[in-house]
Chains A and B, each alone.
Chain A
Amino acid sequence: MVGIIRTGAYFPRRRLDRALIGKAWGTRVPPGTRTVAGLDEDALTMATDAVLACLGEGDPGRYDALYFASTSSPYGEKQVASVIATAVDLPREVAVADLGGSVRAGLGALRAALDGVRAGSHRAALVVAADVRRVEPESELEPLLGDGALAVAVGQDDVVAELVTTASVSEEFTYVFRTDEQRYLQVSEPRFGATYGYARDMGDAIALALRRAELPPARVAKLALAAPDARTAADAARRAGCEPGQLETSLGSEVGVLGTAEPLALLARSLETATPGDFLLAGAYGEGADVLVFRATERLPAARPRPLAERLARGLPVPSYERFLRAHAVLPGESIGEPVTSMIEWKELKQNVRLYGSRCESCGLVQYPQARVCLGCRSRDRMADHKLGKRGSIFTFTIDNLAPVPEHPLPMAVVDLEGGGRLYLQVTDAADGEVKVGTPVELTFRRLHEAGGNRYYFWKARPLEAR
């Protein structure tokens, strides 16, 4: 049986009240909030967070492939999936691919991974989709989009939703695009595109999938359709003979439309309530449409994903529209730092990205950075690599207004990790008063600074979500 094993979601803690956008431009905006990636976040960091959430306490060594999908990757050329695979400590012997092009890439990556498992190319694979899509200030899209990431683990064992069939249609259509020279998303003829692009292609792909699965439309428990809006999703459902009531509720009012992660997020939400035997259908659009049909297994009730609502609790308001513009790099923020040479990066990769310290085999002390002579007992070369835990508590801290970072204040903390070791880290996504001695924190892989035309990533601490 080939299918979904687990899912993991990541949403930025920051929420922008859409009313602030309306107030800035004097326009009417839908009610609710949208998620906003912080200055230290991008598709790479959010994807890493989602994969870590998906892995949980599980062994990353189980996976031999990682697919990364995004239309807003921080790199035009660089294998971002390899960066994510390293940060989550997957083995070096892992197949990777970056997919993009349209928001269809998220579901496309899931299909490719499932096909890889079916074909015997992968034992088990991780799929992660993430986007921070930039739209023009004052455009209609500005309040509607959201930032976030969704990871899905697939394989042959421990499957909670079995892949039943897939269907695709693909044909040139001009609707949503961004040329290689454009910074912001373009939408051509929204109403026409929604009807003759989205609804037509999606409806046909759903109908084709249902035929292949020999499934009457009424048998579908949930349609997890990534759609520009609810009305268009309903149009597509009807075209395939389904009812709008079968559509999974979107995250639009709190999160916004996610991009590549959208169909995976809706599918994850469907898994929260599905019962064994339920048919779940996921769809995504982009000059055509992909549809994947799953059937919930007997294993699902005992292995449900963490509800997305839990991941969305504890939001932090973005205080102003201007802060949102800076977070999305529309307004510049200056970060001073020096490039990390590729030689240093290579030498320290295990320590800095995989986050290994040393554990002294003589006295047991876990220490970071990696060292040859023990800090505790002075033994030489008795060190074993020690993978540091990603949770801990603040031993001491400061709230700094002087550090060369684009936004102040910058909380810094000395963190004692569960399982040993102590780190000194920037603290991110903290509310006022959260950074103090004893605060439980977890580690998150973030963009630290830019220098010499490149971007540099490292771990930060953030207040631990209530579990």
Chain B
Amino acid sequence: MKDRVAVIGIGCTKFGDRFERSYEELICDAAFEAYADAGIDPSEIEAAYLGTYLPGPGGGKAAVSLADALRLYDRPITRVENYCATGTDAFRNGCLAIASGTYDIVLVLGAEKLKDRGGRGIPRLGHPLLARGNTAPGLFALAANRYIHTFGLRRETLAKVAVKNHRNGARNPKAHLRMEVTEEQVLKAPIIAWPFGLFDCCPTTDGAAAAIICRADLAKRFKKAPVLVKGAGLAVTSGRPYFDPTFDYLGFRSTQAAAEQAYAMAGIAASDIDFAEVHDCFTWTEISNIEDLGFCRKGEGGKLEEEGQTALDGPRPINPSGGLKSFGHPIGASGVRMITECVTQLRGEAGERQVKDPELGLAHNVGGPGAVSCVVVLGQG
């Protein structure tokens, strides 16, 4: 698939508490922004992939939600759902459809309306008895506490991740939480699930993001300089890691495997990546992710954060967009939103938060926690 698919248009709504916009309206905003960015007419879309994790009262159960929102009828549309990797996996599926030679132009769109669900937008799922009492922060905290027990990570280091991502997000007009925070604020915030305080957690967010992709050899016809898909990987492990007596809880094998696939496809090593949008649903997750993605050895992620190596002006910026932490996390939209950030950075259009001269960017989602990971590598055309 390497270099056979190009991203020619991107769109992304303002992320946040979008009570004034319906699920379908968010889809509409993201899609038409992408059409305009690519300079194409909607009728040119041959197929589409919709990523939504949780269907809600406003839609999202099947591909019809995308069809109705955009009046995009009489063509193949598929809804993709794969936990928090939903968005990147929808993108990966769109790329496979182009690479197979079946379609020339495909729309990938991730949308999520968490806030309209009530209950502060917090998803509640799973077996009615087994694992009851689990929450997203609580599940990732199980890993964080084992990691802390093993490697001696401090909460101050976790806080540095939040401070950095809020600093980046404050420079991003579409981010959900556009304020900087201090380490002291992060450390003093109420505990959500130990060791995570409020500012160690990403918010629940509404939003949609879109990417229009096409056959790389046709990409020059469109408005913007194309960004090429270099590689993509997806790996699924147990959705019940807490019942697996062999699991060490120090990182996620799914991320390691998905990255290996993507790097092999791209013919690169982790060290070749210039910047990455990684799944920082919680501060610890970013630290573990950069280890699992191969940017450093297991146990050393905290050191990278402390040394500022992940900062916007560091050697390999992590989450220049502000990440899930600051940009927000409308689950199915997040992965596609990461693709739009990678494309923006590679085009050199990121303004205040522009990474210096990047050639290769990476987008990564992990959900489950650790059950599903998707990695996409994008590069200059």
Contact = CB atoms under 8 A, between A and B. Distances in A.
Interface of A: 336-340, 344, 348, 352, 365-369, 375-376, 395-405, 409-410, 412, 414, 416, 420-424, 426, 437, 448-449, 451, 456, 458
A367 B122 contact: no
Contacts of B190: 401
Interface of B: 122, 124, 128-135, 137-138, 141-146, 149, 190-194, 238, 240, 242-246, 249
B243 A412 contact: no
Contact of A399 (B132, B193, B242, B243): B193
B23 to A, nearest CB: 24
Contacts of B240: 369, 424
A398 B194 contact: yes
Contacts of B137: 398, 400, 402
A458 B138 CA distance: 19
Contacts of B122: 402
Given A399-B191, A423-B242, 17 more contacts: A339-B128, A365-B245, A367-B245, A368-B243, A369-B240, A400-B137, A402-B137, A403-B134, A403-B138, A414-B242, A424-B134, A424-B243, A426-B132, A437-B149, A448-B129, A449-B132, A458-B130
Given A397-B142, A402-B138, A337 B242 contact: no
Nearest to A458: B129
A395 B145 CA distance: 10
Nearest to B138: A400
A338 B146 contact: no
A338 B129 CA distance: 9
10 contacts: A337-B128, A400-B135, A400-B137, A400-B138, A402-B122, A402-B138, A424-B134, A424-B240, A424-B243, A458-B130
B243 A367 contact: yes
A390 B184 CA distance: 42
Count chain A CB atoms within 10 A of each CB in B130, B132, B192, B242 and give the residue with the most. B132
Nearest to B124: A404
A89 to B, nearest CB: 17
A456 B129 contact: yes
Contacts of B238: 375
Contacts of B135: 400, 402-403
A365 B247 CA distance: 13
Nearest to A352: B129
Main secondary structure of the interface of B (DSSP, over half): loop
B142 A414 contact: yes
A176 B122 CA distance: 48
Among all A-B residue pairs, the 7 with the closest Cβ atoms: A424-B242, A398-B141, A396-B146, A399-B194, A422-B245, A400-B138, A400-B193
A443 B131 CA distance: 14
B141 A400 contact: yes
Nearest to A366: B245
Nearest to B142: A396
Given A375-B246, A396-B142, A424-B243, A369 B130 contact: yes
Which residue among A338, A398, A421 has the maximum number of chain B CB atoms within 10 Å of its CB?
A398
Nearest to A414: B242
B245 A410 contact: no
B143 to A, nearest CB: 7
Given A400-B193, A401-B191, A344 B145 contact: no
A138 B130 CA distance: 39
Contacts of A422: 242-245
B149 to A, nearest CB: 5
Contacts of A340: 128-129
Contacts of A426: 132-133
Contacts of A416: 245
Contacts of B192: 400-402
A395 B190 CA distance: 25
A361 to B, nearest CB: 17
Contacts of B246: 365, 375-376
B243 A398 contact: no
A335 to B, nearest CB: 10
A348 B135 CA distance: 23
Contacts of B143: 396
A3 to B, nearest CB: 39
A421 B149 contact: no
A422 B143 CA distance: 15
A401 B145 CA distance: 16
A396 B242 CA distance: 9
Contact of B128 (A338, A369, A420): A338
A9 B124 CA distance: 37
Given A369-B243, A375-B246, A405 B133 contact: yes
A363 to B, nearest CB: 11
Contacts of B145: 396-398, 437
A194 B190 CA distance: 53
A336 B132 CA distance: 10
Contacts of B242: 414, 422-424
Nearest to A397: B145
A452 to B, nearest CB: 10
A414 B144 CA distance: 13
A416 B249 CA distance: 13
Contacts of A366: 245
A19 B124 CA distance: 41
Contacts of B130: 352, 369, 424, 458
A412 B134 contact: yes
A402 B128 CA distance: 17
A348 B130 CA distance: 11
Contact of A398 (B128, B138, B244, B245): B138
Given A344-B128, A414-B242, A422-B243, A400 B142 contact: no
B104 to A, nearest CB: 41
Contacts of B249: 395-396, 414
Nearest to B249: A396
B142 A421 contact: no
B149 A412 contact: no
A30 to B, nearest CB: 37
A29 to B, nearest CB: 35
B253 to A, nearest CB: 13
